[in-house]
Chains A and B, each alone.
Chain A
């Protein structure tokens, strides 16, 4: 019985090759994308699942409050951990990790720039599951100036040589120390938010940076993790943290500081910056899941539509089978078997697509590679099976159940029929498919537009042709004046300046100010070279610039318009302002300055945050970035000229540079990838929907061959027929717009609210999307319509 059904199924597929191909392709594409996105999503949610103590590990998050703002950060400072251990008996262990980016490592006479050289407590190896391949887990990180490496790093630095007991030299800001290699740590898994190349002993730091770092610096790049004792609930600690922080933590210039626990499994997505390692974007996941679901839905609807349309043709066969003795269950089994089999085949196609395309897609989107083995996990297999069942049964349902119940006599006759219920369902499904596609098109277009807007929006300073050199070595800072003079003489260099930030990219510092008997505790402040405003072409609203004559730059202050408004305009030029820090509850005065001008607002941070108030003063000891404007012609020449000057200065730090506009653009990289995914997903959605439409149109026309032939005989013209047939389908697609437009609008509006600077949504996009969908549908249907309209009526009517 089953063998016969199988043979029958295969023959039928071969007969209607086009429809089979369309169905297969659409389903494979839809399922393939669904699989790919599922794999990606699954991987992203699997971060940090390999730690044996995982359910007891938490990251300490610090919350600073001032005025009406609260900011969450995860750099806690070194003093936190020992205090926590002392005050909370239910904390079993703490791990501190500190990272200084842009340090150097020397092995022999080879020098490497290293961004993943961490310092960590020995408890790292007890709390987290990072096994040592070689070396003693208890002793490897105990003594100062010891370090363990990953195998990849070892190969990179030492080649074939055995690194154990060798030394390397670590250089930070000009000072170097030798470290003894005491172990090799297993390569860090890809789904770990922590990513080390080196882990050095934490006890090295006091010797390198002084005791103050360990006991008083609350703002260093140190992350703190805790492991609770078994059975302890995090709430019992959370509730006491605010009291603890109040008592022991230096508030600096914030009005209050507190801490909270962030469980390990949430760190990847929810940890606020600054990030210690890898981090994920939850909006990504949500959008990907939605797109995956949409694609699958569209493909399924296709399969269902096409198969139900086909089954109308088979109602005659069903009737005949019933006459010759088929029972209802036998028929159901036959049709469900066919559709499940077909779905299974499409899964094969989907797996092929996934296997071939996934690696390159991941790479181009900036994701990490995923091992295919993930696909064989029971959870994932369950998803696959569920999908097959859902699609297979859905597409087989109509012929299997509904048609089988018809009386044989009416089934045989009903091949002509089909108006009414079935047709309405099919039309509804087509509208559904196209609504999704149109909505996706609209959303993607608006999203891209918002991105472009952010990228191109006036930032308030001139960002083109700016070279950025990060300062990593004190030596550079100390000799900046000389460097600046020499650079200025280089051809193609227009101007040179420096600042404590990279405008549009990095964050500013904070400071307190006091003037006219008022105080503000945490004002943003950036430290700039006197020529900063000139070089970046930032206009002055009121007053004078640092570079004007008769200015003692060191005791001058500039503020921006937003700051001026924030201070309620209650400040004047020449006003004396005292700058101070808060530390340990005390007020530590820094300096007195005098306000010399107000600067027009410019986006010193990325445009995804609103404009903030900022102070500006000159302080060369704070410079972290050199900014050089070069001529827009002969960029290569300019860069080599700068390189020559740099090398003539004999700095410890090798020459490196980036373009400011590139760095600013990179801030948007995550959003770019997202936009790419959405674009691809939308394209596919439209494609699959059109394929479905093609199939449906083909069937509908097939059924109406007789009607069309008769119309021709009665005098209808081919163009007229084409118009009539296409018109009906276009009506469907137009109806889809009615659903798509409001839904898309709502979705995009929601999303745009998160951006302080955003585009306005105009009708043009909606019309463009609708046009695109209608054009695709039209193109799909017209070919068929023309073919049918041109068919010879006598051919068609011959068999009646």
Chain B
């Protein structure tokens, strides 16, 4: 599903190029559950952003579902990731001025899903994540775990093939974190590809493959 060839990313300040990712080459197949680990500054989040088409690589090739992402325009990339990728952030990034229901509705609106279909999808998702009672509340009225659940719900409501998660349990306590990771496992069991970035060994254990990054290089890979 995903193929990276010699991906590099640097930022230039003046004459100096600061490399964040160097020569990343890897393959990820559909249905995998991959964890990317490494110390701070290793480039994990950057890699995730590139995978999610939220940022462009400075060099190299990126194939997603056989398409040459690196050659696509911004708009084409946006179309692509709108339909196939869901993103979950460490700090949830829900829209504070919208209710839970409306937060879930927003990606569907951007995809131009029709009214009755929308309603159905949202109702299902609320139910599945056990947050029906909270549907008219605002994010700041929910606990961290609940907010992350909504964030994940928002990420999957469009049925993406791939979910990218950046430290999804970073702001949660251990019980909430466990809940979230179980959800991911369930999604993966049902066929969704998941790539997560995390520090936590415990979280990494849920996945099947670990990629270690150090200073922008892939250090090694291990299988669970």
Contacts and interface: CB of A to CB of B under 8 A. Distances in A.
Q: Do A and B come from one complex?
A: yes
Contacts of B94: 320
Contacts of B110: 321, 324-327, 330
B55 A407 contact: yes
Contacts of A4: 98, 102, 105-106, 109
Interface stretch (A8-16, A395-403, A572-580): A8-16
A15 B140 CA distance: 13
Interface in B79-125: 81-82, 87, 93-98, 102, 105-107, 109-111
Interface in A1-22: 1, 4, 7-8, 11-12, 15
Contacts of B102: 4, 7-8
B158 A325 contact: yes
Interface in A323-341: 323-328, 330
Nearest to A329: B75
Contact of B97 (A11, A319, A327): A11
Interface string B131-175: 000000000000000000000001100100000000000000000
Contacts of A629: none
Contacts of A320: 93-95
Contacts of A1: 109
Interface of A: 1, 4, 7-8, 11-12, 15, 316-317, 319-328, 330, 407-410, 412
B190 to A, nearest CB: 21
Contacts of A412: 93
Given A11-B97, A320-B95, A325 B55 contact: no
Given A409-B54, A409-B55, A410-B55, A325 B82 contact: yes
Given A407-B55, A409-B49, A409-B55, A324 B98 contact: no
Most chain A CB atoms below 10 A, which of B97, B105, B111: B97
A325 B107 contact: yes
Given A324-B110, A324-B154, 6 more contacts: A12-B97, A317-B96, A320-B95, A323-B52, A325-B82, A328-B78
Most chain A CB atoms below 10 A, which of B78, B94, B154: B78
Nearest to A2: B109
A323 B110 CA distance: 11
A12 B54 CA distance: 26
28 contacts: A1-B109, A4-B98, A4-B102, A4-B105, A4-B106, A7-B98, A8-B95, A8-B97, A8-B98, A8-B102, A11-B97, A317-B95, A320-B93, A320-B95, A322-B54, A322-B78, A323-B52, A324-B87, A324-B107, A325-B78, A326-B110, A327-B75, A327-B78, A328-B75, A330-B110, A407-B56, A408-B54, A412-B93
Nearest to A1: B109
A4 B109 CA distance: 9
Contacts of A327: 75, 78, 82, 110
Most chain B CB atoms below 10 A, which of A320, A410, A412: A320
Interface of B: 49, 52, 54-56, 75, 78, 81-82, 87, 93-98, 102, 105-107, 109-111, 154-155, 158
Nearest to B108: A325
Contacts of A328: 75, 78
A170 B14 CA distance: 93
A577 B12 CA distance: 96
A504 B95 CA distance: 72
A4 B106 CA distance: 8
B104 to A, nearest CB: 10
A326 to B, nearest CB: 5
Contacts of A317: 95-96
A100 B111 CA distance: 81
A322 B77 CA distance: 11
A85 to B, nearest CB: 76
Contacts of A323: 52, 54, 87, 93
A409 B78 CA distance: 13
Contacts of A324: 87, 106-107, 110, 154-155
Nearest to B55: A409
B95 A321 contact: yes
A316 B158 CA distance: 22
A323 B81 CA distance: 8
B56 to A, nearest CB: 8
Contacts of B109: 1, 4
Most chain B CB atoms below 10 A, which of A12, A322, A328, A330: A322
Contacts of B158: 325
A404 to B, nearest CB: 11
Contacts of A319: 93
A417 B61 CA distance: 30
Nearest to A326: B110
**6 nearest A-B residue pairs (beta carbon):** A325-B110, A325-B82, A324-B107, A409-B54, A409-B55, A320-B93
Contacts of A326: 110
A15 B81 CA distance: 32
A440 B94 CA distance: 47
Contacts of A408: 54-55
Nearest to B96: A317
A330 B78 CA distance: 12
Contacts of B96: 317
A15 B96 CA distance: 11
A15 B97 CA distance: 9
A1 B49 CA distance: 27
A736 B195 CA distance: 54
B162 to A, nearest CB: 13
A408 B49 CA distance: 9
Nearest to A410: B55
Contacts of B107: 324-325
B80 to A, nearest CB: 11
A321 B54 contact: no
B91 to A, nearest CB: 10
A736 to B, nearest CB: 34
Nearest to A327: B78
B5 to A, nearest CB: 21
A191 B111 CA distance: 58
A327 B98 CA distance: 19
Contact of B106 (A11, A316, A321, A410): A321
A407 B81 CA distance: 13
Contacts of B105: 4
A324 to B, nearest CB: 4
Nearest to B78: A327
Nearest to A14: B97
Nearest to B85: A323
Contacts of B154: 324
A327 B73 CA distance: 13
Nearest to B46: A409
Nearest to A799: B91
A64 B102 CA distance: 80
B136 to A, nearest CB: 12
Contacts of B155: 324
Given A325-B107, A328-B75, A316 B49 contact: no
A691 B55 CA distance: 39
Nearest to B158: A325
A628 to B, nearest CB: 76
B43 to A, nearest CB: 13
A325 B97 contact: no
A320 B87 CA distance: 10
A15 B138 CA distance: 13
A614 B125 CA distance: 99
A395 B81 CA distance: 31
A15 B93 CA distance: 18
Most chain A CB atoms below 10 A, which of B94, B96, B106: B106
A222 B95 CA distance: 77
A327 B82 CA distance: 9
A559 to B, nearest CB: 83
Most chain A CB atoms below 10 A, which of B54, B75, B154: B54
A403 to B, nearest CB: 14
B55 to A, nearest CB: 4
B131 to A, nearest CB: 17
A325 B82 CA distance: 5
